[in-house]
Amino acid sequence: MKIFLAQQNYHIGNFEANTDKIIAAIEEAKQNGGDLIVFSELSICGYPPRDFLEFNDFIEAGLASVERIRQVADTIGVLVGCPSRNDKPQGKNLFNSAFMLYENEIKGVVNKTLLPNYDIFDEYRYFEPAYNWNVLEFKGKKLAVTICEDIWNLTEDPLYRTCPMDELIKQQPDIMINLSASPFDYVHADSRKGTVKQNVMQYNLPMVYCNTVGAHTDIVFDGGSLAMDVDGNIIAELPYFTEAMQAVTFNDDGRLSGELICTADKVPSIQTMPQTLEPLKSIDKIHQALLTGIRDYFRKMGFKKAIVASSGGIDSAVVLALASEALGAENVNALLLPSQFSTGHSVDDAVHLSQNLGGHYDIIPIKDVFEAYEKALSPVFKDLPFSVAEENLQSRIRGAMVMALSNKFGTILLNTSNKSELATGYGTLYGDMAGGLGVLGDLYKEQVYALARHINRNKEIIPQNIIDKAPSAELRPGQKDSDSLPDYSILDPILYLYVEQRRGPKEIIAAGFDEALVRRITKLVNTNEYKRNQFCPIIRVSPKSFGIGRRMPIEGRYLS
């Protein structure tokens, strides 16, 4: 049996385009002698559809697409994902389903059993778990079809009481097939391979695993679909962060044939988050994930050009370099907004960066605007000393300027705030926190530096002085980030233990950090939730990002 894996990039709710893409892949597989083609989870509507699922019209459009695809599923079997209706009055009205189409008929429907309801996932909000489990008969073989989370319950501390493969194995299937929408984070790709291997070893069956690829605002899917033989060897692995289609052959002896890509003893085990922050971990994949996030956000939203407030600092430099690589330098404008507190080297570094990238830049000094604000506010401010009010005023002037250019020329502002700043509230609402998409909001400062060096791995794109100099907001004379925050080499590991690892203050202190500093930092994180709640979407690259994956009360008193 020749099985095709179709790793595709879908557009949520764009049923016509998604269905056209699926049908094109089916026709290609037919022309190449395919017996079966497998697509990813909820491929027809795109994942995650979220509250679109509450619209009857959305469900009808998906089922109409199934009918379109059924018409071309004649000589080839098709496994495709789409929501289906629960006809029983009890429970939720929908299932997360995989449709088996063949000979222009719906031969079977498999419903997802394990519905994740943690981190960025909220499937139990919409779907009912499967009531029963049956293999699908196809060309004399029994297919054990599961959907994404259904294969992730083999840990020492399982999240669910039921494991669908424990039921399907009783029917003596020949192969496992998993339709997945498994998002990227910097530990997940290895965990995915480890999970597939664990299932193969547990049930003594080969597995074909099809994952989706592409980004949906904050969530990036990295693909990496694979086929693993009964011995745990990877015999096919599709590329990461790109669409692809590949065939594997399933022999009569129950094995997948083909040249080994990775032998079983080299398949990584299921990975957990590192116990401490590792800034270099998967930096190449993080780079690709951010490029995918930027590209797909613009393509799927119909945007063409971006604007970045370029300060000569490391964060804006990395964002500008990423945007230029993702969209083309000709589609990215840098706006330099120096004040009387900006150092000469910051302007020079920002200009040098744009010249290296070959992009356009404008310089608009804000000194006169800032002084006009000071004059207008002086009757109310009276003779109170220069403070954070004046610092934030400069940031808000810059925010207004860059948004003015965004409106005038139809560009989208890419935000440059990093995770260290967002965690501690080191940013100005309606100023440097403005933007349509947060590019670095899931990277700690130490990771931003690692990414800058990675971008420069072949040649100097980001001027070395930007990487070497001490970070500063430059909102007052001689200002450095270290005036307000501990050194990032100390701050970032504390934040990582609190945000990613969910360690309490006592545990973090026991890890060797100063007690007063730990209590100060955890308080900063919690009291600045109101700022993050007003922030733009962040491209997710870590196992615990700010946004929908980390839901905290704004006015809570815990550690604040």
**Residue 421 annotated as lining a ligand binding site:** yes
Q: Which phi and psi (to 5°) does residue 151 adopt?
A: -100, 5
SS (H, E, C) 298-343: HHHHCCCCEEEECCCCHHHHHHHHHHHHHHCHHHEEEEECCCCCCC
**Residue 266 annotated as lining a ligand binding site:** no
Task: Tell me, yes or no, whether 202 and 319 share the same domain.
Answer: no
Task: Tell me, yes or no, whether 262 and 287 share the same domain.
Answer: no
**Residue 531 annotated as lining a ligand binding site:** yes
Task: Tell me, yes or no, whether 112 and 221 share the same domain.
Answer: yes
Q: Report the mean per-residue pLDDT for the chain.
A: 95
- Locate 142 and state its tokens: 């029994």
Task: Tell me, yes or no, whether 365 and 218 share the same domain.
Answer: no
**Residue 149 annotated as lining a ligand binding site:** no
Task: Give catalytic status of residue 148 as yes or no.
Answer: yes
Please identify which of the residues 21, 45, 128, 148 carries the catalytic annotation. 148
For residue 80, the model assigns a pLDDT of 98
List the CATH number of the domain containing 297: 3.40.50.620
- Locate 175 and state its tokens: 């192969």
Please identify which of the residues 112, 300, 419, 445 carries the catalytic annotation. 112
Report if residue 141 sits inside a domain.
yes
Beta-bridged to residue 127, according to DSSP, are 94
Task: Tell me, yes or no, whether 141 and 171 share the same domain.
Answer: yes
**Residue 416 annotated as lining a ligand binding site:** yes
For residue 557, the model assigns a pLDDT of 86
Please identify which of the residues 21, 41, 82, 197 carries the catalytic annotation. 41
Secondary structure class of 380 (helix, strand, coil) = helix
Task: Tell me, yes or no, whether 250 and 302 share the same domain.
Answer: no
Domain that holds residue 127: 2-266
Q: Per residue of the chain (560 residues), what is the pLDDT tens digit?
A: 999 999 999 999 999 999 999 999 999 999 999 999 999 999 999 999 999 999 999 999 999 999 999 999 999 999 999 999 999 999 999 999 999 999 999 999 999 999 999 999 999 999 999 999 999 999 999 999 999 999 999 988 889 998 999 999 999 999 999 999 999 999 988 889 999 999 999 999 999 999 999 999 999 999 999 999 999 999 999 999 999 999 999 998 878 988 899 999 999 888 788 999 999 999 999 999 999 999 999 999 999 999 999 999 999 999 999 999 999 999 999 999 999 888 878 899 999 999 999 999 999 999 999 999 999 999 999 989 999 999 999 999 999 999 999 999 999 999 999 999 999 999 999 999 999 999 999 999 999 999 999 999 999 999 999 999 988 877 778 777 777 889 999 999 999 999 999 999 999 999 999 999 999 999 999 999 999 999 999 999 999 999 999 999 999 888 87
**Residue 223 annotated as lining a ligand binding site:** no
Report if residue 554 sits inside a domain.
no
Q: What is the DSSP letter of 247?
A: E
**Residue 316 annotated as lining a ligand binding site:** yes
**Residue 47 annotated as lining a ligand binding site:** no
Task: Tell me, yes or no, whether 28 and 139 share the same domain.
Answer: yes
- Locate 320 and state its tokens: 């500008």
DSSP characters over 411-463: -EEEE---HHHHHHT-S-TTTTT--SEESSTTS-HHHHHHHHHHHTSSS--S-
For residue 278, the model assigns a pLDDT of 96
Task: Give catalytic status of residue 45 as yes or no.
Answer: no
Report if residue 559 sits inside a domain.
no
Residue 158: CB atoms within 10 A of its CB come to 12
Report if residue 541 sits inside a domain.
no
List the CATH number of the domain containing 143: 3.60.110.10
Task: Give catalytic status of residue 21 as yes or no.
Answer: no
Task: Tell me, yes or no, whether 70 and 127 share the same domain.
Answer: yes
Report if residue 553 sits inside a domain.
no
Place of tokens 């389903």: 97
Task: Tell me, yes or no, whether 96 and 162 share the same domain.
Answer: yes
Cα distance between residue 365 and residue 115, in whole Å: 53
Cα distance between residue 274 and residue 159, in whole Å: 21
Report if residue 271 sits inside a domain.
no
Task: Tell me, yes or no, whether 308 and 226 share the same domain.
Answer: no
Report if residue 200 sits inside a domain.
yes
DSSP characters over 478-534: T--GGGTS--HHHHHHHHHHHHTS---HHHHHHTT--HHHHHHHHHHHHHTHHHHTT
Cα distance between residue 374 and residue 415, in whole Å: 26
Task: Tell me, yes or no, whether 129 and 251 share the same domain.
Answer: yes
Task: Tell me, yes or no, whether 301 and 430 share the same domain.
Answer: yes
Question: Could you say which of 266, 296, 331 is where a domain stops?
Answer: 266
**Residue 328 annotated as lining a ligand binding site:** no
**Residue 313 annotated as lining a ligand binding site:** yes
For residue 511, the model assigns a pLDDT of 96
Place of tokens 């545990």: 507
Q: How many structural domains comprise the chain?
A: 2
Q: What's the whole-model pTM score?
A: 0.96
Report if residue 41 sits inside a domain.
yes
- Locate 554 and state its tokens: 């704004």
Place of tokens 């494991």: 163
pLDDT digits (tens, 9 = 90+) for 202-215: 999 999 999 999 99
**Residue 118 annotated as lining a ligand binding site:** yes
